[in-house]
Amino acid sequence: MEGRGGPRIAFVGGGSYQWGPKIIQDVALNEELRGGSLVLHDINGEALQDMYEWGTRALDATKADLRLGKTQRLDEALRGAEFVVLSISTGGLDATALDLEIPSRYGVVQTVGDTVGPGGLFRGLRNIPVVVEIARSMEEYCPDAVLLNLTNPLTVLTRAVTKATPIKGIGLCHELFSTLGMLSRMFDVPEETINVRVAGINHFIWVTDVSVDGRDVTGEAFRRISGGVAREISLSDADGDTDPFTNTWGFRTELCRLYGYLPAAGDRHVCEFLPGYLRDEEERERLDLRVTTVDVRRERLAADRESVRRMVRGDEPIPTGRSREEISDIMAAMWTGKDSVNIVNLPNAGQVRDLPFGAVVETYGALNGTGASGIVFGELPPPVAALVHPHVFNQEAIVRAGLTGDTDLAFRAFLNDPLVGSGPDARTMFEQMFEAQRRLLPQFEG
């Protein structure tokens, strides 16, 4: 992909107060992307203007060689792009409120509700037609571009794109980084000396092996984690901290002890993949499983918006360093042809041998000028496979239902979710959620 100057990057959802500053700053400060352009696109004109003004100030502060643009027209953003970054939320927090509040009437507790559970399923159904339409627009305006998806449910949406279109799609998630940071602190070594073997699906990945400077420390790591060391050393588990976004370790500690392997995503995501832990309030308290309410999300959004605006006004300094995200490094590797190894979500081409070909799996991947390819992991250990496999097949059903508008298939996938089950309330809950969001589910009309 390398050519004169840097690449053209389209950021769809570029008005995101959460992702906008990170993407703009990381691209601007990546030397291998110098001379390129970043075009922000969003249907929310106010948020788009805020992030454009923030980006303009950030580029002035860093003296970065990057052209920044903005547009509310998707075709203008996509035309000629080499990379498309995707961060959207169809229906926004109003739809998320329905995802959480309707199931709660039936005793279904969701800590996040964006990947699995009733909320994850309906979030997927809402976003599938929108994301696929964006990918089809890419076919017209930038057919060779790579789609870098940050939108949840990450597995389902990346799979929908790669199933329905020829667009090259990669899902990117940062959940593994907290586990690597914890292991670094536990062994008192730099993070770059830690190596893990890890595989699964997004927000449900499992570490099976750990090494430090090439020395196998798996047994020691899992023994110490099972004994509670991760909870003790986690910098985020400060006394009195009740922030639901905090990366707690009670649940991963429990699962490592029970299954002999370590879930590598945050507790708040992992617990939604398994039945029985969220219904009991005492169990949630014992494991420190925190529920992220819509009100808390609205407060976080308002705080992020106000922070951006303070920086635009000059009342708060613009950050001058890069974030922990790897997205700019991934684009740089594919643009320059230099090799990079990163955690990625890709269609399974054999990297996880016991999962279906084509299903999107999360493993390490090799990225360079030829694109992205998953690094072979092998087979998931039987105790882990028994937990992961049902979700893979259910996500395939959700994708098919979302692409074809098959209501019966969507309901059966709903029944198969461990937070729902096949109780007498399942049909009523599904129908209430469906009716409440019908305007956001156009593929089911007719």
How many Å is the Cα radius of gyration of the chain? Answer: 21
Q: Are 223 and 346 in contact (CB under 8 A)?
A: no
- Give the ranges where 246-371 is alpha helix by DSSP (H): 250-259, 267-270, 281-287, 294-313, 327-336
CA 317/CA 313 separation, integer angstroms: 10
**Which of 41, 174, 269, 391 does the annotation list as catalytic?**
174
Q: What angle do CA 356, 277, 392 make, to 5 degrees?
A: 10
DSSP 352: B
Three-state SS string across 332-347, please? HHHHHCCCEEEEEEEE
Two structure tokens written together for 178: 């907290």
Q: Are 283 and 277 in contact (CB under 8 A)?
A: yes
**Is 203 a known active-site residue?**
no
Residue the block writes with tokens 């870098």: 148
Two structure tokens written together for 362: 């999360």
- In this structure, the chain runs to a length of 446
CA 393/CA 413 separation, integer angstroms: 9
Written as one letter, the residue type at 354 is: D
Two structure tokens written together for 381: 């250990």
Q: Are 23 and 55 in contact (CB under 8 A)?
A: no
Phi and psi, residue 103, nearest 5°: -60, -30
Give Cβ neighbours of residue 219 (< 8 Å, ≥ 6 apart).
none
CA 100/CA 296 separation, integer angstroms: 13
CA 189/CA 12 separation, integer angstroms: 38
DSSP 319: P
Helices (H) and strands (E) in the chain, counts: 17, 13
Two structure tokens written together for 191: 């993070």
Written as one letter, the residue type at 60 is: D
Catalytic machinery residues: 174
